[in-house]
Amino acid sequence: MNNYKKYIVIDESVRFGKPCIKGTRISVYDILKWLSAGQSEKEIIKDFPELSKTKIRACLAFAADKESKTRVA
């Protein structure tokens, strides 16, 4: 997903500037944490109906993009 920027924003006045889903206070980190704990997309959306599969996958794309730019010493 190349268009994750459509769904993720960084605003210094929201969650101390952490990347969040646009229009919410839900951070990319929150979603990645829930997924890594074994929650399914369906379970996350049930708890947070303002999310969607597309927005959750945007978080994965964001993380992958950041990881691809990380240099290992």
Residue ranges per domain, the chain? 4-67
Give the CATH number of domain 4-67: 1.10.10.10
Half-sphere exposure of residue 70, counting CA atoms within 13 Å on the CB side? 7
Residue 70 pLDDT > 80, yes or no?
A: no
As a whole number of angstroms, the distance between CA 51 and CA 24 comes to 9
Q: What is the structure's pLDDT at 58?
A: 97
The answer to whether 50 touches 23, Cβ cutoff 8 Å, is yes
Does the pLDDT of residue 16 top 80, yes or no?
A: yes
- Express each pLDDT in 24-65 by its tens digit: 999 999 999 999 999 999 999 999 999 999 999 999 999 999
pLDDT at 1: 61
* DSSP type of residue 31: H
Sign of CA dihedral 27, 33, 36, 38: negative
